[in-house]
Structure 1
Amino acid sequence: MTAQQLVKLAVFEGKQIRKTIHNDEWWFAIIDVVEVLTESSLPKRYWSDLKKKLTSEGINEAYDKIVRLKMPAADGKKRDTDCANTEGMFRIIQSIPSPKAEPFKRWLAQVGYERIQEIENPELAQQRMKELYEQKGYPKDWIDKRLRGIAIRQNLTDEWQERGISSERDFSILTAEIAKATFGMTPSQHKNFKGLSRPQDNLRDHMTDLELIFTMLGEKVTTEISQTEKPGTFEENKKVAKRGGRVAGTARLETEKELGRSVVSKQNFLPKGLAEDTEKNA
């Protein structure tokens, strides 16, 4: 799994820290950690100055362990971001005077340990994700569908990689083809329809049961067609994605006829205050 495929938000004392899987371990956005520890309004400048300081002091160990990985920025676009693994972060933290350093080290060690556990036992990762959704107040039936959808999505991206698809842009294009054929709109249009304007809002976390079901259907059928036909070019993969999405789209239209209403819903799982503000601004 590449860093581009899995970027998550961790939370320390209410502050969000971007993290991603790279080489089977967690890597953290350094400026997010800097912001948490220093409460600086300019964490990028603080980190830039700290890098220069470490280099001038001949301390290159931490800098050598830094890699640049794609992370979502505040505007929703993914940009190269300085990241460090748990070991590298410990070294950087030592250079930042902060009363939060020790509790952050303990938090960091726990996050790293949980990743080791998850590699040895993948079911733990699913259980932790389930507990996270439960804490956010999602219904059990919805959580079961969401977790199943994650597994189906992973199978699809694995299949695309087998077919030579590797860039995030290509993944997005193929996903949009399935979505357009399934719902008649791209994921970005679907987000706008639901009033989801924040970059951190994951569309699938705001889908209804039926939207999740048809998303799963489109992606599962696409995977099955691809495994059978083994498309060799990007354009062939696009055609397969459209066909898989059309199967789900046809099923959606038939469902809408029976229900007498649209499956595509404005319902979302935004916190109550945010949801009300979204409706006012819609």
Structure 2
Amino acid sequence: MENIKLFESQKIRSSWDNEQEKWFFSIVDIIAALTDSNNPQVYWRVLKKRLLAEGNETVTNCNGLKMVAPDGKMRLTDVADTEQLFRLIQSIPSPKAEPFKQWLAKIGYERIEESQDPEKAIDRAMENYLKLGYSTAWINQRLKSIEVRKELTDEWENRGVKKGQQFASLTDIITQAWSGNTVKEYKDLKGLKKENLRDNMTNLELVLNMLAEATATEISKENNPKTFADNKKIARKGGEIAGDTRKQIEAQTGKKIVSPQNAKVLKEDKNKLKE
């Protein structure tokens, strides 16, 4: 289960391993947060080479895990669990080292809390979005979209769709069918690079994206697709239904729904309302 954690507003890609019951964190994201390096990948390559030469077992035991890269694709990245990170941090000179260690300990404790009370996970997601400057109305919509997305990906897994490239392909089909843009085209329109597309959608864009994904989920449940080709047809159909709704709204309002507005603009609009 991939996730995004925030350390001082810095996004840290993370993944919870149910079997091992531990968090794994992207090392380059950690380095970026601790060092403010313009190129954390290079920083990590140099540090990794030095530690390996020293016979550091922590580096030897670090795993590779596929996570969403800046280009939106699933790419292999070095990850470390909490214990490994505590050791690695000792080799990274940073005034943020101690606050980061406290943050790691807090993340571990929160996971225990969330397993006992899932509602806490929702509350923390709300807190993180508020810290990033989003409005409460937008956050409520975004949290609902996460639930709808999870239902869809669960359905895909039940139908034998593979995570990674196949998930990305079906998402691309749905997005293009309802918005008229591939995910890449949509992100280009909004001036995005590594940012999450849904985190940069307006309320109405989120609603239509949810409609497309929820519709695809229901059609899949009714049709029991057997092949990836069948899943592609269903993804397209779900997107087209939401796309028809988009066109009807645009015809009534005279305004385009798919917008170059991104998170920065959304936050600026929120601040204007406060003034």
Residue number in structure 1 paired with 2:212: 218
- Structure 2: 5+ residue runs without aligned partners? 270-275
Q: CA deviation at 1:139?
A: 2.1
Distance 1:233 1:143, change over 3 A: same
Tell whether the 8 Å contact from 2:178 to 2:239 is kept in structure 1 after alignment: yes
| Structure 1 position 150 matched with structure 2 position 146 | yes
Residue number in structure 1 paired with 2:84: 88
Residue number in structure 2 paired with 1:280: none
Aligned length: 263
| Structure 1 position 25 matched with structure 2 position 46 | no
Tell whether the 8 Å contact from 1:10 to 1:19 is kept in structure 2 after alignment: no
Distance 1:33 1:50, change over 3 A: farther
Amino acid paired to 1:191: K
The partner residue of 1:256 within 246, 250, 255 is 250
Residue number in structure 2 paired with 1:181: 177
SS across alignment from 2:263: coil
Distance 1:106 1:26 in 2: 15
SS across alignment from 1:79: strand
- With normalisation by structure 1, the TM-score equals 0.82
Amino acid paired to 2:106: Q
Identity %: 43
Residue number in structure 1 paired with 2:132: 136
Residue number in structure 2 paired with 1:118: 114
Distance 1:250 1:110, change over 3 A: same
Query: RMSD in angstroms over aligned alpha carbons?
Result: 2.7
Q: CA deviation at 1:35?
A: 5.5
Residue number in structure 2 paired with 1:160: 156
Distance 2:130 2:183 in 1: 25
Tell whether the 8 Å contact from 1:20 to 1:28 is kept in structure 2 after alignment: yes
Q: Which moved more, 1:158-167 or 1:74-83?
A: 74-83
Amino acid paired to 1:123: E
SS across alignment from 1:270: helix
Give 1:22-61 correspondences, 5 Å limit.
Answer: 22-23=17-18, 24-34=21-31, 42-43=42-43, 44-53=45-54, 55=55, 60=57
Distance 1:259 1:130 in 2: 31
Q: CA deviation at 1:39?
A: 6.8
- Superposed CA deviations along residues 14-44 of structure 1, whole A, max 9, x for unmatched, are 6554323333532112244355556776422
Distance 2:211 2:6 in 1: 30
Amino acid paired to 1:49: R
Residue number in structure 1 paired with 2:272: none
Q: CA deviation at 1:274?
A: 11
Distance 1:148 1:9 in 2: 19
- With normalisation by structure 2, the TM-score equals 0.84
Distance 2:80 2:227 in 1: 35
Residue number in structure 1 paired with 2:221: 227
Tell whether the 8 Å contact from 1:70 to 1:79 is kept in structure 2 after alignment: yes
- Superposed CA deviations along residues 180-228 of structure 1, whole A, max 9, x for unmatched, are 111111121111122x2331x1111111111111100010010011111
Distance 1:106 1:204, change over 3 A: same
Q: CA deviation at 1:77?
A: 4.5
Distance 1:63 1:239 in 2: 45
- Superposed CA deviations along residues 131-158 of structure 1, whole A, max 9, x for unmatched, are 2222233222221111101100001001
Tell whether the 8 Å contact from 1:25 to 1:115 is kept in structure 2 after alignment: no
